[in-house]
Every structure is written in structure tokens, then in C-alpha cells.
A and B are shown apart, each in its own frame.
Chain A
């Protein structure tokens, strides 16, 4: 076991992917000598050369569009989009090309492209640097969408995403880049937890009643865990599930939990309307209708553009807002 920040865990995961497969390439703005603005690719160009780890011109559609061509040629490009709010120039290539070429070709072409996107708020950034655009991609058939919440997952999930034969949008919660955690870097990919699977990260022992199920992903997993700890300190037990995969969704563990707790609360930073919470609430309603004691609630960003940073603590889901939702659910 090694203690790594998420940023370093991603870096180590990328390094291992580069070592394992000579077809893996890393491309994006400033990913070379600088190591990316978050240093996730730090040192990789030095060790793997400018052919495999290279800076691109500053144009996101060009990054993704040329990655399509490289993938057609047999490479496995890993593209870095510098910030969430800069992915939109590439959106056409992602939605119209990356997501559809396998389908268009009736399965004859595979596009094993990973598009890494640092996302989410909480770092006091200027406009366009704190967004959570995951729903746009989840709504696009042909893409797979995942997000890590801790260094261990980051290390394995990035390698699994690169190994996957489908295009994967890989969201990295930038507010968690510097958090440390234990990573078993001696493990093998074959033994790693499956990429497209959710994980119960706080399970209530069977002998105690669980009061609600918190469903979170990426940056809000920690928020949900803190809320569950605070509730436990008051004698109320909450279960927490880290979705990890947003497309496809793996909700079987959610249903299992909600059937016991009768209450579900989805927590995400993205704006509420049309967000992942809506889809998850709908599915829980379909699958757990007779178990529910209250409607599925959402704790999310408000339906406003991301506010100026001095207000982001009010915009983002917090421990208290999560517990408030638990209270509202219990009083329903």
C-alpha cells in the first residue's frame, strides 16, 4: 500500500497504462513538459517521450477529432480537456462522432478513447472552471461515463477506462485532487473492482436500522460520507453508495439499500433539473415503489450558472444540506 493524492494516483495509473500498452497516447493542452495544469501528467513526457505524451494546439475539437483519427489508426488516445467548461468546443466531435462511429460502422470500428475532464467546483476558480457537465454525456448513447471519488479508484479506474473498447468520459473531481488515500499499486488490473459498477461505501450493519440511502458520485461522495458520520454521531445510520459509473448506471446496490431504508437522497454538484438525480429518482421509483417511505429527494446545485466563487459554498451540496434532506425525507 502506498499513500497517494488523487492527482498522483491518476498519474501513476496513466504511467502504468503507458507501460502496459505501446498504443496508449496522452494528448492535450499543456500535458507535456508542464504536466498539465493539475500535474496529473507530470513527468510522463520525460519518461515516455514526445511521441506518446504531447502538447496539442489550443483547440478542444481538434484534440478530440484527431484522437478519433488516431483511434481509427489503432491507438488508444487519452485526451485531457483542461477544465470542465472548456469541453464544449469538443462537444460536437464527442456527441456526433466519438459516440456514434462504432454504431455507424455496425461494430466494425472501435474507438477506445478516454477523455479526461477535471470537473466540479470548490476550488475558488473563475467562471468556466467549476462546472459539472456529466449529464450531457450521460444523455448521449455510445459514451460511457465514469467518475472517481478517491485515490484508489482513480488509480484503477483510469487504467480500466484506457483498457475499455468504448469511448469513456472520465470525470475527475478537481476539489479532491489533493486528498490522500491508500492505493495498492502492486495489485493487478484483473483483480481490480469492476469499472462500470457502483460501490457501497458505507454500509449499516444488519442489526441496526438504516434510516436513508445517500447516492453520490465524484466530489459529493466525501460530502455524503461526512453527512453519514455526522448522522451516526447523533445515532442515525445512513448508507452511502458511490455510483462510480454514470453510464451505464449500476443501481442494483441502490435498490437493495433503498428497499431496506425506504428513503433515498441523490447528491450531486450539477444543477438539479435534468441532472443525474432525476434519472436515478425515476429508476428508484420504478424498482422500489412499494418500499419507499418518501419521494426520492435531490441535493444538487441550483438551476443557475455556476456562481462567483465567493458563493460556491452556498451553491454546492454540503453536509448540512444533505442532513436537511434526510430530515425532510423522514418527516414526509
Chain B
């Protein structure tokens, strides 16, 4: 491993100090406003002005999304979900960037952005419906300014870029009311052609899109070193737009950096790349076993940089929140989790014939015929149930 990459790739020795240390070692700048110990740092370019109430709000968001996420894992273990893709460890990257969005901004998520979805004010049950297998997504992207989850890795980067080209065609850039677009993807997706093509398109069309890469160090089992030899953030320069690396476990830094990038995009300054260095504390999904490919000591090292803990320390150390507040937030999160759990368990299975719906907006006689044939087949069972003795054995034709 090149010495300049040790700190970022394996991320076992992430920069603990901002800019200056990075410059000395040749590492990319690493914006950090809140250390793992809860110390507040300032940054010449990327400071953030948030009220105490907003700080407590960010804390609450992170606790709630972590608790709801835990419910996803629990429900899968209990056989109520087919799968769950946990965001554990990435709460700061998602809440920080999610809260940086303005109402008019459009989000293109991958399949792990439950925290961003929550910040967007979307019913958190949506991903549970997907992973329970009752629907494929089912939300209206226009209503929430949040696109459907996209499972094929990296495809959404192009969708975000095209959408942003449309924003520019509509003339919705250039002022405070301009619209910006954000595309979420991970270190694994950075190797996909679609992500790199999205960089090309965004650059040459100067599309108002922010590429938010959550580098959580692993694509299932494959460490980031197999996706890239150089820091991912360096890609931006080659494609012709700014890139910035941020401590992805620092909610304030993620907020500050994303807010700035979105504002630049909405003002017509084109695309940018944010690499948020974080860590997927859990498995890739509930089907994964991370003990097969990473050490306990590595996980422990990242636990020390927990995104929630550091904000809690800061709030406590500065008298911005007391034990009663923290307890109340935990109770709030637990309450939301119980409600969500009950609603997930009550999600109805779709009716069999529903699977034929919405294949085509304009309909298809071919498909209508298949649907009618299957309905006839199903109706045969109903007829049998009604007259079991007489109709059995005679076939359903």
C-alpha cells in the first residue's frame, strides 16, 4: 500500500486533524468539524453555523435512524423481511447530507439511504415494504423529491445527472431558489462505468449535481483498495470538477460540505464530488458475514469514531443536552421503532393479479390476455373450493 493511501484506504488511521495534517502527508484534505472525542473544530472554508436546537435535532435524527435500522435487521432475523441493508455506522453521512438538502433539491439514492429518506420526511416504512417483498419501491419521486431506490449499483448516478441536465434546461439554476440534485453511491459503485459516465456527462454539460460517495470501505467483502489505487476524491479533478473529502462520521462536516456543494450547483457552478469516509459497521446486508473478511480490531477502531457518540459527547460537554434529553431521544426512537414494527407486520401481501399492473402506462393487449388467462386459472381454485367433492379430478378447463 502506498504510504499516502494508508490513512484513507484501510482507514485504520484516519486523519484526526483537519486540512494541515493532510497536506503534509500528501493525503487529500479531510474536512472534520467534530472529532471522535467530541471536540469542535473550525475550518477556514467549511464551517457551519447551526443552532443548539439544530444540533440536538441532528443527534435525534441519527439516533432514530439507527434505531429504525436496527428494527430492519431484527425483522429480517425473525423472518419478517427477506433482507435488510443496514446503514449502521453511516448515520452522520446520511443525516448530515440529508439535512443539507433544500426542499427543492432532488435525491437519487442507492438502496441503503434510509437515513436520507427519513430526513426527506418520507414514511420510513417504504424500504421495509421493498425488503419484505410486497413492492419494489412504491413511492412517488416527484412528491418527495426522492427517487426510487436503485439496486443495480451506480445506475442512479446517470439518472441524477440526466435529471440535473433537465433542471438546467428548465432554467432552474443560478439563484438561491435554484434546484440541485444529489446522487448517492458507494466506493464499490465508483468502479462502475455508469458512475464514470455520469462524471463525464455532468462535467461537459455542467449539470447541477452533487455526487455523494459514501466510502464505507467495503463493497460486500471487497475493500476499497480493489476499486481504486488513488483516493476516490481525486477522480473529480480528472473529470474537471471539484472534489472534497469529508469525515463521513462527522455529521457537522457532512452537513457543511454538502450544503456548500449543493448551493454551488444550484447557483450554476456545476457538479462536484464528495467522498465521505465512513465505515459500514454491519454486514453488507443480512445475508452477509463480515467476520469472514475483516478483523474485530478494525471494527473496534471504527467504533471509537462512532458518529452518534461524538455528537453526544459534544452536546454533553458543552451543556447543550442533559441525560434527560438523551433518555427522551432514546424513548422517542424506541417508540417510533415499535410503531414501525407493527406497521411492517401488518403490511398486506399484494393480490396475485396486482403483478400485472403498471407494466405499461399505455397498456398491452398481449399482457391483458395473460392476465385474463391467469385470472381464469385462479378462479378455477375458487370454484373447486366452493364445490370440493364434485369438481375435483375433473380439471379446471
A62 touching B141 by the CB < 8 A rule? no
Interface set, chain A 201-253, CB cutoff 8 A to B: 247-250
B141 touching A108 by the CB < 8 A rule? yes
Query: Is A41 in the interface zone, CB < 8 Å from B?
Result: no
Q: Given that A70-B165, A97-B152 are known contacts, is A107 also in contact with B159, CB under 8 Å in the complex?
A: no
Option from A97, A105, A109, A250 in Cβ contact (under 8 Å) with B155: A97
Option from B162, B200, B357, B366 in Cβ contact (under 8 Å) with A248: B366
A102 touching B362 by the CB < 8 A rule? no
Option from B162, B197, B362 in Cβ contact (under 8 Å) with A164: B362
Of the listed residues B142, B164, B194, the one surrounded by the most CB atoms of chain A closer than 10 A to its CB is: B194
CB distance from B234 to the nearest CB of A (A): 21
Query: What separation, in Å, do the CA atoms of A69 and B167 have in the docked complex?
Result: 10
A248 touching B361 by the CB < 8 A rule? no
Stretch at the interface among B4-12, B97-105, B132-140, B288-296: B132-140
Classify the interface of chain B: helix, strand, loop or mixed. Answer: helix
B164 surroundings in chain A (CB, below 8 A):
69
Option from B136, B170, B200, B366 in Cβ contact (under 8 Å) with A103: B136
Query: What separation, in Å, do the CA atoms of A66 and B169 have in the docked complex?
Result: 13
CB distance from B208 to the nearest CB of A (A): 12
Option from A57, A61, A74 in Cβ contact (under 8 Å) with B193: A61
CB distance from B357 to the nearest CB of A (A): 7
CB distance from B91 to the nearest CB of A (A): 26
Interface size on A, residues (CB 8 A): 45
B165 surroundings in chain A (CB, below 8 A):
66, 69-70, 73
Query: Is B347 in the interface zone, CB < 8 Å from A?
Result: no
A68 surroundings in chain B (CB, below 8 A):
158-159, 162
A67 surroundings in chain B (CB, below 8 A):
162
B200 touching A59 by the CB < 8 A rule? yes
CB distance from B209 to the nearest CB of A (A): 9
Query: Is A308 in the interface zone, CB < 8 Å from B?
Result: no
Interface set, chain A 51-82, CB cutoff 8 A to B: 51, 56-57, 59, 61-62, 64-75
Residue interface mask B286-310, A partner, CB < 8 A = 1: 0000000000000000000000000
Query: Is A104 in the interface zone, CB < 8 Å from B?
Result: yes
B359 touching A102 by the CB < 8 A rule? yes
Of the listed residues B135, B152, B160, B364, the one surrounded by the most CB atoms of chain A closer than 10 A to its CB is: B364
A59 surroundings in chain B (CB, below 8 A):
193, 197, 200
**Considering only CB atoms, which chain B residue lies closest to A95 in the complex?**
B152
A73 touching B198 by the CB < 8 A rule? no
Residue interface mask B141-165, A partner, CB < 8 A = 1: 1100001101010010111111111
B200 surroundings in chain A (CB, below 8 A):
57, 59, 62
**Considering only CB atoms, which chain B residue lies closest to A100 in the complex?**
B136
B358 touching A107 by the CB < 8 A rule? yes
Q: Given that A51-B169, A107-B358, A248-B365 are known contacts, is A73 also in contact with B162, CB under 8 Å in the complex?
A: yes
Query: Is A106 in the interface zone, CB < 8 Å from B?
Result: yes
CB distance from A294 to the nearest CB of B (A): 26
Query: What separation, in Å, do the CA atoms of A69 and B183 have in the docked complex?
Result: 11
A250 touching B365 by the CB < 8 A rule? yes
Query: Is B166 in the interface zone, CB < 8 Å from A?
Result: yes
B201 surroundings in chain A (CB, below 8 A):
56-57, 62, 66
Option from B140, B158, B161, B362 in Cβ contact (under 8 Å) with A93: B158
Residue interface mask A249-281, B partner, CB < 8 A = 1: 110000000000000000000000000000000
CB distance from B149 to the nearest CB of A (A): 9
**Considering only CB atoms, which chain B residue lies closest to A164 in the complex?**
B362
B152 touching A101 by the CB < 8 A rule? no
Query: Is A298 in the interface zone, CB < 8 Å from B?
Result: no
Residue interface mask A3-27, B partner, CB < 8 A = 1: 0000000000000000000000100
B155 touching A102 by the CB < 8 A rule? no
Query: What separation, in Å, do the CA atoms of A165 and B135 have in the docked complex?
Result: 22
CB distance from A67 to the nearest CB of B (A): 6
Interface set, chain A 154-198, CB cutoff 8 A to B: 164-166
Query: What separation, in Å, do the CA atoms of A51 and B142 have in the docked complex?
Result: 23
Query: What separation, in Å, do the CA atoms of A109 and B144 have in the docked complex?
Result: 13
A142 touching B158 by the CB < 8 A rule? no
B220 surroundings in chain A (CB, below 8 A):
none
B159 touching A65 by the CB < 8 A rule? yes
Query: Is B367 in the interface zone, CB < 8 Å from A?
Result: yes
CB distance from A211 to the nearest CB of B (A): 29
Query: Is A141 in the interface zone, CB < 8 Å from B?
Result: yes
Query: What separation, in Å, do the CA atoms of A143 and B219 have in the docked complex?
Result: 31
A103 surroundings in chain B (CB, below 8 A):
136, 358-359
Query: Is A92 in the interface zone, CB < 8 Å from B?
Result: yes
CB distance from B156 to the nearest CB of A (A): 9
B155 touching A106 by the CB < 8 A rule? no
Query: What separation, in Å, do the CA atoms of A164 and B346 have in the docked complex?
Result: 38
**Considering only CB atoms, which chain B residue lies closest to A108 in the complex?**
B140
A66 touching B360 by the CB < 8 A rule? no
Query: What separation, in Å, do the CA atoms of A106 and B136 have in the docked complex?
Result: 8
A61 touching B158 by the CB < 8 A rule? yes
CB distance from B26 to the nearest CB of A (A): 31
Query: What separation, in Å, do the CA atoms of A93 and B150 have in the docked complex?
Result: 11
Query: What separation, in Å, do the CA atoms of A104 and B357 have in the docked complex?
Result: 10
A108 touching B152 by the CB < 8 A rule? no
Interface set, chain B 32-79, CB cutoff 8 A to A: none
B139 surroundings in chain A (CB, below 8 A):
105, 108
Which residues of B are in contact with A by a Cβ distance under 8 Å?
108, 135-142, 147-148, 150, 152, 155, 157-167, 169-170, 193-194, 197-198, 200-201, 204, 357-362, 364-367
Which 8 pairs, one residue from A and one from B, show the smallest C-beta to C-beta distance?
A69-B162, A65-B158, A73-B166, A66-B162, A62-B197, A69-B163, A107-B358, A165-B361
Which residues of A are in contact with B by a Cβ distance under 8 Å?
25, 51, 56-57, 59, 61-62, 64-75, 89, 92-93, 96-97, 100-110, 141-142, 144, 164-166, 247-250
Sample 24 A-B pairs with CB under 8 A, ordered by A number: A25-B169, A59-B197, A61-B158, A62-B197, A65-B157, A65-B162, A66-B198, A70-B162, A73-B162, A73-B166, A89-B193, A96-B152, A97-B152, A104-B136, A104-B137, A105-B138, A107-B358, A108-B141, A108-B142, A141-B367, A164-B362, A165-B362, A248-B364, A248-B365
Known pairs A62-B200, A106-B135 / 19 extra A-B pairs, C-beta < 8 Å: A56-B201, A59-B193, A62-B158, A70-B163, A72-B147, A72-B159, A73-B162, A75-B166, A75-B169, A92-B152, A92-B155, A92-B194, A102-B361, A105-B141, A105-B358, A108-B141, A110-B361, A141-B367, A144-B360
